[in-house]
């Protein structure tokens, strides 16, 4: 006699709450992004962008390779193009962002990088044919205004596009493409293997640029360099990339971008912790970002219920 196959309570629980758990985990990763933003800024004062990116990307690739474990046995040809394309996008995003950060302020860099949340729904509709809901678009607008309020204390005068601002803004486009490319390929591949491979590709591309463009000198005695490398290479690129790749399997690109919009909020919290002034403008900006996330979440729930 055959008995009907049923899911165990543990399997059912994980299936029901996997999306929520992955997004909560990604919020934690974004919190680390915000807090460690200042570390990269300090590191880039003592080393070139390609050298810095090469070291931290290699550390991230090694971290991911260790986390893959026995799953390396699952590699086949299906990983080739996704890893090359995603690695190229990641390389370009880090390259232009790090280059631009040398010539602009931290607040401007945070805002201009955060504009990826504006590009994601537009590029998603074009590339993935996944048009966002109206509530998601409204949430993006609110989050965009919140990012502006947090990042530009000096008003419209802070929007002057200097060379550094241009490159960081271009990096915002790159991060939007990165989110979209992850959403395109991650559902069909082993998450950890895919993450390790495309980070390694980005590290190799960056290393080639380091050999060609910058002197092969590493200030090994610089505390700022190694703090930046360890926090961003291990925590952000290593562990963070695996989490971001994972969350894109259960959340839309727009939702991932909205969570990423919390980065300047956590940066402001980190600043407050070390004694920086948190103005009412920053508080209002953070509230608008949270409102944008809640509005997008409401739209997602209504769409699931067919309303």
Please indicate, yes or no, if residue 264 is contained in any of the structural domains. yes
Q: For residues 290 and 304, is the Cβ–Cβ distance under 8 A?
A: no
Sign for the pseudo-dihedral over CA of 52, 58, 63, 64: positive
Number of domains in the chain: 1
Of residues 257 and 179, more confidence is placed in: 179
pLDDT at residue 5, as a whole number: 46
Closest by Cα among 28, 72, 6, 34 to 270? 34
294, part of any domain:
yes
State which H helix or E strand residue 196 sits in: helix 191-213
- For residue 3, being part of any structural domain is answered with no
Tell me: the pLDDT tens digits for 243-280? 766 776 666 666 666 777 677 777 667 666 656 566 77
Phi, psi (rounded to 5 degrees) for 8: -70, 155
Q: Say how far apart CA 78 and CA 72 lie, in whole Å.
A: 13
Average pLDDT for the chain: 76
80 lies in some domain:
yes
Q: Which domain holds residue 152?
A: 26-304
Do the domain assignments include residue 20? no
Residue range 41-68: average pLDDT?
Answer: 89
Asked whether residue 17 is assigned to any structural domain, the reply reads no
CA-nearest of 303, 304, 283 to 146 is: 283
284-294 pLDDT tens trace:
877 787 677 66
Q: What is the mean pLDDT of residues 121-148?
A: 73
Residue 3 has pLDDT above 50, yes or no: no
At 306, phi and psi to the nearest 5? 75, 25
């Amino acid at each position: 006699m055959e008995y009907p196959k049923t899911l165990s309570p543990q399997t059912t629980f994980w299936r029901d709450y996997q999306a929520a758990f992955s997004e909560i985990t990604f919020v934690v990763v974004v919190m680390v992004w915000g807090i460690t933003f200042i570390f990269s800024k300090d590191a880039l004062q003592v080393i070139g962008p390609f050298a810095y990116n090469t070291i931290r990307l290699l550390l991230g690739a090694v971290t991911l390779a260790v986390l893959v474990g026995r799953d390396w046995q699952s590699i086949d040809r299906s990983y080739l193009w996704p890893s090359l394309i995603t690695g190229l996008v990641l390389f370009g995003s880090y390259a232009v962002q790090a280059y631009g950060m040398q010539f602009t302020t931290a607040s401007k860099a945070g805002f201009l990088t955060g504009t990826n949340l504006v590009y994601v729904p537009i590029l998603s509709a074009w590339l993935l044919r996944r048009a966002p809901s109206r509530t998601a678009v409204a949430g993006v607008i609110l989050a965009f205004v919140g990012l502006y309020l947090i990042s530009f204390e000096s008003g419209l005068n802070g929007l002057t596009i200097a060379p550094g601002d241009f490159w960081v803004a271009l990096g915002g486009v790159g991060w939007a493409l990165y989110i979209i490319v992850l959403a395109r390929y991650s559902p069909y591949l082993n998450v950890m293997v895919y993450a390790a491979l495309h980070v390694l590709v980005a590290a190799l591309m960056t290393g080639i640029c380091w050999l060609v463009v910058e002197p092969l000198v590493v200030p090994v005695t610089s505390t700022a360099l190694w703090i930046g490398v360890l926090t961003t290479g291990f925590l952000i690129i290593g562990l963070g990339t695996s989490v971001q790749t994972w969350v894109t399997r259960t959340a839309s690109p727009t939702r991932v971008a909205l969570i990423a919009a919390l980065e300047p909020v956590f940066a402001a919290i980190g600043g407050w912790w070390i004694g920086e002034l948190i103005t009412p403008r920053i508080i209002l900006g953070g509230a608008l970002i949270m409102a944008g996330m809640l509005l997008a979440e409401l739209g997602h729930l209504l769409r699931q219920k067919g309303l």
